[in-house]
Amino acid sequence: MIVLGLAWSTLTLLILGLGCFALQVFTFRSKRPGWSTVGLFDLFWVGLATLLGIAQLTSLVFPLDGRVLLGVGAIAAVGLISCARAPSGPFALDRLRPGWRRRFILLLGLFLPVAVLAAARLANTAPTLSYDTGLYHYSAVSWANAFPAVPGLANLHCRLAVPSGYLLLAALVDNAWWDGRTAWIMPGFIPLAVIAQWLLFLVFDRGPRRLPLRLFCLCTAPFLLWEIAGLAPRLDSDSAIHFSQLALVAAVLRYGRRLASAGHRQPMDSRGAWIPWLTLVAIAAVGFGFKPSGGVVFAFVALMAALATMAGLARRRRPVGTTFRTVALLASLPVLLVLGFLARNAIQSGWLLYPAAFGRLDVAWAVPAHPVETGHPAEMQSVTGQYKIIQAWARQPGPDYLRALDASLRSWVPPWWERFRHTVACRLLYAGAGLNLLLVAGWCWRRRRGSLRQPVLEAAVLLGCLASLLSWFLTAPDVRFGEGAFWVLAAFPASVILAIRPLQGRWCTLAAPVLFAGIAFGVLRQSWPSVPPSLWEIGHSQTRATRLHRFPLSQKDRFDLHVPVDGDQCGDATLPCTPYVVGPLKLRTPGNLGAGFYLDLSVSNPKP
């Protein structure tokens, strides 16, 4: 448990330092950088987006080993030092209001039990991992640790090339004294960071304008705490995407008036006016960087930021240089992540938008669009086959998933709905529908008062949530992929409606810590592990039993492939390992795994 606490604290300082460094770069040579408007919330998400961008681009030319981690740590240290020396910076004590010590003690009293529960859930030495983590997550981490982006890696195992900044972040963590332990460290980090931010909002934010934000934190606290209660060693990124969606809505509620007035009452490039939009874009970019399914929300936020920037610049008629600087500032982090996403896809699969079948490049290592053989392994080793199988499993999980392949809505929706209607997500859907109807009625009432700017932001949140749910339903409608959007659909209108009348901010200030503590106590009581957690030890990845499969090609091209003896999980096995022996697989350069793989379709496939 202590090891996990030290690891999470180190990662937090690393990300905050990168956030400080990024903001220092953005405000270089600026006479009015607006440091007084920057908070820990902004630093964390800007720093996390910066870390993902660094990992994406660095992994193209270097393996994510201890040297890269040391370099990132040095950059973060420079950022922390420069930020600590900045007058009225985010760490300046003169920004704190009277009574902050009592509130800080209250925050620690609420946060520490949750952190202890998270550490207890993960402080075990059992090597048991989730199915997907054993299938390809740990193999992807091993490849990122050992080599730069490998051309044609998807030809070895199609899942290894699925773009995931979360796995790159896990690979960066999987070094030095954390080697082999990233599956125990990563699951609790993002949830605890978001819970800490929620408690900061509940305890330190005051005033009627922050009431919707605090109510939103209270409404979503059960989801966050339940995620903590279900922590287990794994490297799935689904929960991390849900937390980024919640943080995105929290940013809108926190900066609502400043987002609406940026470019209207004040130019976007004025002191501190760009920081809310930068934070918003950074959070959306993090969701997209974790997993491509966050691309819908990312594109929507990028569009909103572009429209706000253009509208503000058109009203103010700023100089061309100022316009270019503002646009470059807001676009820097998204462009960094998108370029890394496209480049890794092009190298590892030969498709720009992999795993979707769009943007095939004319390269020798491009993954086949369609299966080259018959059978499940060949289906999984093609772009369209893998996509259809993932989609079919999400529609109808279990041994009958093949019935949902290429099926019409009539055939797969009824059994899917029968399972979905018994979930918490379905109840949130019903509640969200009713609450959003009330919210729309409130917009009509507020329109009579002539105030439309805030309803525009609320409508943008609702449209973004609906777009995310529509994309989820059409691609992979498994509940675990869409939980965050369902909680936003219900919690956001509830927080806005309850903040109008007659609820007063003082009541929320007094009740919020009590309600949070009550929910946390209930979760803590039910979820404390039955096996006593270790104080100093955590688990370590285990190698799985494999058998050698030697391709009987010419002596020059021959290489050994590790195949799992039982099942299809490679785990942390010796590279190269795959459960799918498909096609005449060859190395681009004999004897060099880092040079990549390709399929020689002119040669018949030797069976293992």
Q: Range of 494's domain? A: 376-527
From 527, 558, 576, the end of a domain falls on 527
Please check whether residues 380 and 298 belong to one and the same domain: no
Q: Rounded to an integer, what distance in angstroms lies between the CA atom of residue 378 and that of residue 457? A: 47
Predicted confidence band of residue 191 (pLDDT cuts 50, 70, 90): very high
- pLDDT of 445 > 60? The answer is yes
- pLDDT of 264 > 60? The answer is no
- The percent of residues above 90 in pLDDT, for the chain, comes to 24
Q: Is residue 486 part of a domain?
A: yes
Please check whether residues 551 and 520 belong to one and the same domain: no
Contact 544, 570 (CB under 8 A): yes
Q: What predicted TM-score, i.e. pTM, was given to this entire model?
A: 0.89
Please check whether residues 517 and 594 belong to one and the same domain: no
Please check whether residues 422 and 522 belong to one and the same domain: yes
Q: What is the mean pLDDT of residues 109-135?
A: 80
- pLDDT of 504 > 60? The answer is no
Contact 502, 223 (CB under 8 A): no
Please check whether residues 313 and 461 belong to one and the same domain: no
pLDDT at 34: 56
The DSSP secondary structure of 311-352, one letter per residue, reads HHHHHHT--HHHHHHHHHHHHHHHHHHHHHHHHHHHHHTSBT
Name residue, tokens 């520490």: 112
Please check whether residues 326 and 425 belong to one and the same domain: no
- pLDDT of 606 > 50? The answer is no
**How many structural domains comprise the chain?**
3
- The percent of residues above 70 in pLDDT, for the chain, comes to 80
pLDDT digits (tens, 9 = 90+) for 135-170: 888 899 999 999 999 999 998 888 888 888 999 999
Please check whether residues 156 and 24 belong to one and the same domain: yes
Q: Rounded to an integer, what distance in angstroms lies between the CA atom of residue 169 and that of residue 174? A: 9
Q: Is residue 139 part of a domain?
A: no
pLDDT digits (tens, 9 = 90+) for 289-326: 998 888 888 888 888 877 776 666 666 555 555 656 66
- pLDDT of 485 > 50? The answer is yes
Q: Rounded to an integer, what distance in angstroms lies between the CA atom of residue 297 and that of residue 465? A: 8
Please check whether residues 472 and 341 belong to one and the same domain: no
- pLDDT of 608 > 50? The answer is no
Contact 551, 143 (CB under 8 A): no
pLDDT at 451: 54
Contact 598, 365 (CB under 8 A): yes
Please check whether residues 241 and 314 belong to one and the same domain: yes
Q: Is residue 540 part of a domain?
A: no
Please check whether residues 166 and 269 belong to one and the same domain: yes
Contact 20, 83 (CB under 8 A): yes
Q: Rounded to an integer, what distance in angstroms lies between the CA atom of residue 130 and that of residue 183? A: 10
Query: Max CA-CA distance within the chain?
Result: 81
Mean pLDDT over the full length of the chain: 81
pLDDT digits (tens, 9 = 90+) for 197-233: 998 888 887 766 778 888 898 889 889 988 888 888 8
Q: Is residue 511 part of a domain?
A: yes
Q: Rounded to an integer, what distance in angstroms lies between the CA atom of residue 578 and that of residue 567? A: 11
pLDDT digits (tens, 9 = 90+) for 385-436: 888 888 888 888 777 777 777 777 788 888 889 889 899 999 999 999 999 8
Q: Is residue 79 part of a domain?
A: yes
Please check whether residues 282 and 246 belong to one and the same domain: yes
Tokens of 419: 């399972």
Q: Is residue 498 part of a domain?
A: yes
Q: Rounded to an integer, what distance in angstroms lies between the CA atom of residue 255 and that of residue 234? A: 34
Least confident of 242-256, 259-273, 275-289, 406-420: 259-273
pLDDT at 607: 45
- pLDDT of 381 > 60? The answer is yes
pLDDT at 598: 87
User: What are the DSSP E strand ranges found in 476-588?
Assistant: 546-550, 560-564, 585-587
- pLDDT of 269 > 80? The answer is no
Predicted confidence band of residue 489 (pLDDT cuts 50, 70, 90): very high
Q: Is residue 126 part of a domain?
A: no
Please check whether residues 200 and 334 belong to one and the same domain: yes
